[in-house]
Structure 1
C-alpha cells in the first residue's frame, strides 16, 4: 500500500482549549471542511492563511475572532500589500487574493454557524487579478528536446521518459500524475482515468500511442526493479518503491528542461500549457481542450486561444493590406531600388 510521510505537527496559535480563541475555531473549521469532502490541498491552504492572520492579530493584542472588525481586516490587507519576502519582493496580487479570500470564507462560515453575530469580511474588497498568459510555451521541437534528456539505459531514466511523455500527451496536473494508478490505464482504449482531480472530479482522457508505449516499457522493464518486492498500486514510484510526490515531479521536470538548453524555464505545468496550445494550433476545438484539462469553466481554457498565435498570424498575413500592397515604402522594395542604383564602383 502507499505510505505517506507523517506531517510535522503545527504549533497552535493560542490555547486550543479556549472556546473563544482563534485555534479553537480554526480546528472546528478544518474538521468541517473535511466532513464536506474538501481536498486536503484546499484545507491546508485555508488553514495556512487563517493561521497567518491569527498570528498577525495576536501580535497586535487582538486575541479572539469576535474582536475582528472590517477596519482590522483592511489593516491586514494593507499589511499584505506592504509585506516583503526574504528576497525583498512584494506579495503578488494573486497571493494577496488567496490570503483574503480564505479569510472571507472563514468569517462567512463563522457567521453562518452563529459563532459570530455578524460577518466583518462581508464587504471586504478583494484585489483584482487578471488572467495571465503562461510565461512560456514549448514548440514541438523544444518539447522533443526535453523528452530526449532522460538516460533510458537506466530504470529511473525510463521512468522519467514515461513521465515526460505522459505530461506532454495528456496535459494532466502534477498531482493527477502522482496519483495515477496502474489500473487507471486502459491500453485497449488508449485512455487514462484521473480520479478526484481538481474539485474532486473524475474524468477519462485519451493518451497518445507513443506515451502509452513508454508507460508499457516502464512497467515491463523498469518498475519491477524500483519496487523492491513491494506491493504498490501507484504507477510512478521512486527508487525506494514509494509513490513520487508532486514536489519531486516538479524538481525532475525542471531539471530536464534546464538540461535541454532550450532557454525556457518551467516544470510540469509547462507541458500542460504546451499540450493545450499545440493542439489548438493544429485545429482542436477548444471544448475538447477543456475536457482534456479538466477545466470547470470554458473561460479558463480560453486563455490558450491567446497563446495559440500561429493561426492568428496566418490570418493577419492573408488579410492585412500592408502585406499585399507592396510599394516603395516596403523595406524589400527600398533595398531593391538601392541595389539597382548601385554603390561605389568596385574597380574604381
Structure 2
C-alpha cells in the first residue's frame, strides 16, 4: 500500500477530477450550515486528501466499499509525518469524523445508496487532561495586570475578564460583535459557535463592567486610528467587539500574544493561552459545585464526554480527602 502523504495523509491537495471538485464544493456548502468555520476548513481538507487517495487507485465515491475505507484507515495508521513520528490519534479521529460527515452528506443527497462508513469504529482518543490550569489567584492577577489607563489596557482587561467569565473559545471571542453584549442584563450571545449553534452565556459583574468601560471610551479611540491611517479596514473591524491597536480586525495569534504578555507581567510562570482560561473556569466552577451539564451549556460542548474531562481530581485534593476521611489518614 502507498504511504505517500500526498494521496493519504497530510494537508496536501492532490489532483482531483472536475466532478470531485464540484462534489467537494457542495459538501463545503452543506457543512457550513452545520459546523463552525474552522471545522468546515478541516473537514474539506481531510475529504480532499481522501478523494485524491481514491482517484489514485481508480476508485469512485459511488463504488466505494467498506473494505476500501478499512484499507484507507490502515494506511493512515501506518503513515508517518516528515519528522518520522506517526500522526496523532486526534488527527486520525478528526479525519474519520470528516469522512463520516462526507458520506452522510452523500447519503442524504442520494449520491450513494449505502454508507460505506456505517459500522466502522472511530479511532479511540486518549482522555487528555488540560495541561495548564490557573488558580483563581493567578487568573485574578493576569486579569488585573493591564489596568485601565489606555484604550488598549481597557480592551485587554475586557478580553481577559470575558475569557474567564464565560470560558468562551478564542475563535468565538474574536468574532463577537458589540450587539452580542448586554452589559445591563450581564449576558453575552455567542453566534455560530462550534457546531454552528448560538448560545447565551452569563457575564460576571466585573466582566460586564470591563466591557462597558471599553465600549465607553477605548474601542472608539482604537477605531479612530483606523479612520485616520492607511492599510486597515475600519468597515470590517467596526463590526467586531474587540479590535487591533490600529483599529483593525483582531486575530487569534494576536489574542494569544495579549494573554501571554499579561501573564508574564503578572508574574505567572505557567504557559498561558486564551484557551487556558477556558480550562480554568470549567475546573473552578466544578470545584465549587456547578453541575456538569451547566458547565457543558456554558462552554458550548456538544458532547457531555468532552466536559467530563474536567472532573479529574488533582492529587492535592485527593490527599486532603484521605487525610480528612480515611481511618488511618491522620
Compute the TM-score of the two structures, normalised by the length of structure 1. Answer: 0.77
Give 1:293 shift: 1.9
**Cα separation, 1, equivalents of 2:244 and 2:149:** 17
State the partner residue of 2:96. 100
Q: Deviations over 1:116-140 (max 9, x none)?
A: 3543332333211243221121112
Secondary structure of 1:253's match?
helix
Query: Residues 13 and 48 of structure 2 are in contact (CA less than 8 Å); yes or no, is this contact kept in structure 1?
Result: no
Match of residue 205 from structure 1: 201
The offset of 1:255, in angstroms, is 4.5
Structure 1: how far apart are the matches of 2:143 and 2:90? Answer: 32
Q: Residue 120 of structure 2 aligns with which residue? A: 124
Counterparts of 1:269-308 in structure 2, within 5 Å, are 269-307=275-313
Name 1:244's counterpart in structure 2.
250
What's the counterpart of residue 40 of structure 1? 37
For the 8 Å contact 1:281–1:308, the answer to whether it is kept is: no
Cα RMSD, aligned residues only = 2.9
**Secondary structure of the residue that 1:204 maps to in structure 2?**
strand
| Residue 60 (structure 2) aligns with | 64
Unaligned runs of 5+ residues in structure 2 are: 1-11, 228-233
Q: Post-superposition shift, 1:76?
A: 2.3
Q: How far does residue 320 in structure 1 lie from its aligned partner after superposition? A: 1.0
Bigger Rg, structure 1 or 2:
1
SS in 1 for 2:62: helix
Whole-angstrom distance in 2 between the partners of 1:61 and 1:322 = 66
Instruction: Give me the whole-angstrom Cα distance separating, in 2, the residues matched to 1:145 and 1:88.
Output: 41
- The alignment of Structure 1 onto Structure 2 pairs a total of residues equal to 309
Q: In terms of mean alpha carbon deviation, does 271-280 or 154-163 score higher? A: 154-163
Q: Are the equivalent residues in 2 in contact too, given 1:108–1:122 (CA < 8 A)? A: no
Q: Aligned pair in 2 of structure 1 residues 293, 157: CA closer, same or farther (>3 Å)?
A: same
Find the residue that maps to 2:328 and give its secondary structure. Answer: helix
Q: Distance in 2 between matches of 1:193 and 1:211?
A: 14
Compute the TM-score of the two structures, normalised by the length of structure 2: 0.80
Q: After superposing the two structures, state which structure 1 stretch, 253-262 or 201-210, moved more.
A: 253-262
135-144 or 258-267, larger mean C-alpha shift: 258-267
Query: 1:119-198 to 2 correspondence within 5 Å?
Result: 119-150=115-146, 152-198=148-194
